[in-house]
Amino acid sequence: MMDVDLLEKKLALIETCIVELRTLARLDRIPGDVREERFIEHSLQLAIQAALDVASHIVSSERLGEPQTNRELFVMLERGAWLPAALAAQLSRMAGFRNILVHGYETVDLEIVRNVVVHHLDDLLEFVRLVRARLPG
């Protein structure tokens, strides 16, 4: 059964992180300011993780399959007609980026961080919009 209240909280967290990134982040300072870098990376991590939590809940509630990776969650949402293909692909890439941020598989490329903030926050907002449009009630 879908927990709409939980999903709404997670969707609101995504929106809050994006507002904070857009109003507080100083991208020009991240190369030399570790606090700024960590704020931006952590805010991105929180937003992407919330999207993964939402995706996981929907995939489970709608019985869309058994994902082997976080990336697969968005593919399953695409197959279940929750997301268009292009957005599912972009969100899958963000899931991979989140793994780099969280697990430190490799050094975080600050240009990729900058690119996500400048060009891909709207992808997360589109995810929020599309999920909300399908929620019951």
How many angstroms separate the CA atoms of 60 and 19, rounded? 29
In this prediction, residues 57-61 reach a mean pLDDT of 97
Residue 122 pLDDT grade (very low, low, confident, very high; cuts 50, 70, 90): very high
CB 40 within 8 A of CB 21: yes
Asked if CATH classification 1.20.120.580 holds for the domain at 4-134, the reply, yes or no, is yes
16-51 pLDDT per residue, tens: 999 999 999 999 998 899 999 999 999 999 999 999
* pTM of the predicted protein model: 0.94
87-114 pLDDT per residue, tens: 999 999 999 999 888 887 567 888 889 9
Q: What is the dihedral of CA 131, 132, 133, 137, to 10 degrees?
A: 130
